[in-house]
Copies of this chain bind each other. A is one copy, B any other.
Amino acid sequence: MTTADALFDRQLKALAMVFEDDIRPGANYELVVEHGGQAWVSGQIPRLQGQIVCTGRVGQDLTLEEARAGARVSTLRALAILRQQLGSLARVERILRVTVYVQSAADFTQQSEVADACSDILYSVFAPNGGHTRTSVGVYQLPKNAALEIDLVAAVRPA
């Protein structure tokens, strides 16, 4: 087992998180498209075993800390999907972009602090090359009333 995979499993264990054995898209799209040295991952809401575990408007229906917990689920789900597609997270060279969409209350301005929970995981799993660019914004609504959604683009090595 490679380092990134081992670090990923450690994160899952620390957070007592178990994803489906075979993660499937919720509708007619692909979880990942790999092409030309890049892997694009579809937007992930905080879903575990078919259950959305973090819903509502952050700063109103749930706290920053609860949103950060949801961001960890979305991030690890995106990585679980990458591993499922690539065979191993060792194939990830760099995370090029993470976009974090936070379903926000009208006066909630801590989208960056929600996104930090995502970034922390990326740095841990892909150390020492976990550096990534990031955009975080506060949206009005998300599919299935999810509190947040995260998508990413990775640079990957050939299999």
Contacts and interface: CB of A to CB of B under 8 A. Distances in A.
Interface of A: 26-33, 35-38, 40-43, 93-99, 101-113, 115-116, 119-120, 123, 131-145, 149, 151, 153, 155
A122 to B, nearest CB: 8
Given A33-B94, A132-B29, A155-B36, A139 B142 contact: no
Given A33-B132, A111-B143, A133-B40, A28 B106 contact: no
A128 B132 CA distance: 30
22 contacts: A27-B112, A27-B119, A28-B116, A29-B132, A30-B132, A30-B133, A33-B97, A35-B93, A40-B153, A41-B133, A42-B134, A97-B151, A104-B141, A105-B141, A106-B141, A107-B141, A109-B141, A109-B142, A109-B145, A138-B141, A139-B139, A140-B140
Please give the count of copies of this chain that the complex contains: 3
A36 B97 CA distance: 14
Contact of A36 (B38, B137, B139, B144): B38
Contacts of A101: 135, 137
Contacts of A155: 35-36
A152 to B, nearest CB: 10
